[in-house]
Structure 1
């Protein structure tokens, strides 16, 4: 007979080792939460919930389960009835609406602006500021920078409306770089709606600038969002479009497109293509010599292409190969690149779990959890969720409970 393993796993994570203990604990929790001394869940009811046909609890019981276990019944293996809407649904929708309004406010300034003189030196000023924002992103994470960078984009957009000739084209190019960075910050913060919006802004400005390098860069930016959404075919389509006439592109943009296409290949389970693309990108690294202020991760990031290869290998389930690469990468990534180190270590921990070394995985996860709380990076929390799935074979063992305890601090802060 089938079992509701999701509820059983949640029960064990809560420390309720038996059905009888779970029923008693939930009853007590519900009596306190609802201020109803008659609220009761029997062991027989709990056994049914963990069985083949768990059914659906009453609305009050659903609230108690969520408050006690941190998940709604539909996430715990229950059979969701037609028309069920989580109690916080309307609040979530309103929060998303307010968030999207704030995302678009900086990019869509309505109406004409008063003409003004625009000094060409402003292009260099914004380029210098951009490099500082890249460094700050490595140290701070996304939340503290989104407002600053999007406000500067708004100023650039205002200046573009008055600028002429080469000054206007130069501001369009630097504006596209700012929009791309805002898109990345939203993506790292876990707001895919905001990320997609700003990637679209980047592409629009790139097209207006008529700069083939920026157009290729904007397509790779779109592919990054599709990678996070797990849409390998779309990633490949976008990167192939970016590479359609590679003769027009500086080596840096070609490298970006090739490594991102490798991520698409990993999502479609094509290891040979992953290696072919990463190797091809590696052959171009020594030729990167442009002075473009954007897309310089291949220059700034130690072991840049091996990071991509290790990430792809992790998706392909090659635990030992990915783990060996992460060890090499982390030896050269500076401690100051704290957020990137946290992401890489989380992927290293997952590789250890896939390679059937759960103790090493949890050992690494302890450091990652501290960094995730500090940087508030949604990307890092997603990596830790991937680790948790990879650790499912040990969820009932002490090492599985240890991982749950480690990750509880991240959940509390998120």
Structure 2
């Protein structure tokens, strides 16, 4: 019948336990040391049953040993928890989540009043130049190393806004909105959608205060990006339509809203609308000529709109069409956009799996896994998890085992 408990098998391979027999021996040794119990043992027969279709539920002490050895509780390893079972450290996890949210909001919600100070207009250019550097660093580093730096700079901008006057204040509000939008993106890329939504809300507030219609439109597209990750197609469409209602928008903001609305349409299964929206955006691309420091992916990313189309096709289950598009656009992605290239490669690999080309899928995934290990982008890890699901038909074949070994390092760290 083959292995049925994929989660436990993947965890075993991540731990370097090549067979079920070696896994049973290693867990027995770990348990004897952890429990200080020389008689503790797990048989290879028990492990084989665990990797079968009905693994049951291990004794309480074995559940704790599994967690200590593999970093996951049994219900995360394919076991079905009995009614009323509560993970021992559930309260601790909730406490960590509360502390994390407090740290997320601290930079945006500094209580006032603050001491008044003179604010030189030259600071607007200073922060704009720093912003461009942060965009470049994000492409190289991924989210985790930048969140603290960018949110701290936002906090300084917020402090200066409270003292600035006139056009200086307006200019700082505009650049502050760009900083909060970047913090929101970094949290979204890190997989924390709660924090991302919070910072997207901050961006919308500052955009409204700035009275800048382009920033207001941009903030709505930012909120739509979170809705896309939440799988809420109608929410994405609502937000993008609200942005596009303003006829004053620069072409760049309209392009952003149209392509994001296409993602919403793909979530509702509407291919015709996907193509219409992306084609409309393509007609505006040559008119993008503003000097705004934010939202410039459509200018710096070769094949930007075809990347969006390929992503939408993949979401719609159009494997052949998506695979053809990815083959065309990926080679044009610059080396500087390393994290984005990793995401695209993972999507390309999934499209190859959907076209019944598992060997090609694994080969494409190799470079994506290397980038995922470096950047720790949750967005990329999510794409690789999608690839795992697409490759399930070949789970017991050599190519399926190759993929499991390839993904083991990044799955272990996720």
TM-score by length of 1: 0.91
Contact 2:343 2:379 in 1 (8 A): yes
1:21 Cα deviation from its structure 2 partner: 7.4
Q: 1:50 to 1:333 in 2, by over 3 A?
A: closer
2:273 is the alignment partner of 1:273: yes
DSSP-derived class of the 1:344 partner? helix
DSSP-derived class of the 2:291 partner? coil
CA distance in 2, matches of 1:342, 1:93: 32
CA distance in 2, matches of 1:382, 1:11: 17
The aligned runs of 1:46-125 (5 Å cut-off) are 54-67=55-68, 71-125=72-126
2:341 is the alignment partner of 1:341: yes
Q: Deviations over 1:63-96 (max 9, x none)?
A: 2334555543223443322332223323322322
CA distance in 1, matches of 2:296, 2:8: 47
1:11 Cα deviation from its structure 2 partner: 8.3
1:23 Cα deviation from its structure 2 partner: 5.8
Q: 1:407 to 1:63 in 2, by over 3 A?
A: same
The aligned runs of 1:37-52 (5 Å cut-off) are 37-41=38-42
Q: Deviations over 1:90-111 (max 9, x none)?
A: 3322322222222112111112
Q: Deviations over 1:376-414 (max 9, x none)?
A: 222211111111111111111121111111112223444
User: Please, what is the CA RMSD of the aligned residues?
Assistant: 2.5
Q: 1:50 to 1:405 in 2, by over 3 A?
A: closer
Contact 2:11 2:77 in 1 (8 A): no
2:136 is the alignment partner of 1:135: yes
The aligned runs of 1:89-238 (5 Å cut-off) are 89-238=90-239
DSSP-derived class of the 1:291 partner? coil
Contact 1:199 1:218 in 2 (8 A): yes
The aligned runs of 1:224-373 (5 Å cut-off) are 224-243=225-244, 245-373=245-373
CA distance in 2, matches of 1:11, 1:121: 54
The aligned runs of 1:395-410 (5 Å cut-off) are 395-410=395-410
TM-score by length of 2: 0.91
Q: 1:179 to 1:22 in 2, by over 3 A?
A: closer
Equivalent pairs, count: 411
CA distance in 1, matches of 2:410, 2:5: 24
CA distance in 2, matches of 1:44, 1:133: 54
CA distance in 2, matches of 1:120, 1:22: 64
Please list every run of 5 or more consecutive structure 2 residues that lacks an aligned counterpart in the other structure: none
Contact 1:11 1:17 in 2 (8 A): no
Q: 1:352 to 1:173 in 2, by over 3 A?
A: same
Contact 1:4 1:54 in 2 (8 A): no
1:201 Cα deviation from its structure 2 partner: 0.6
Contact 1:302 1:333 in 2 (8 A): yes
Q: 1:71 to 1:148 in 2, by over 3 A?
A: closer
Please list every run of 5 or more consecutive structure 1 residues that lacks an aligned counterpart in the other structure: none
Q: 1:375 to 1:8 in 2, by over 3 A?
A: closer
Q: Deviations over 1:226-280 (max 9, x none)?
A: 111222222122112222x241211111111111111111112211111111111
1:306 Cα deviation from its structure 2 partner: 0.8
1:336 Cα deviation from its structure 2 partner: 2.1
CA distance in 1, matches of 2:26, 2:142: 39
1:219 Cα deviation from its structure 2 partner: 0.9
Q: Deviations over 1:327-366 (max 9, x none)?
A: 2111211112211111111111111111111111111222
Q: Deviations over 1:280-327 (max 9, x none)?
A: 111111111222221111111111111111111111122221122112
User: Which residue of the partner structure matches residue 387 of structure 1?
Assistant: 387
Q: 1:21 to 1:299 in 2, by over 3 A?
A: closer
CA distance in 2, matches of 1:6, 1:375: 26
DSSP-derived class of the 1:284 partner? helix
DSSP-derived class of the 2:335 partner? coil
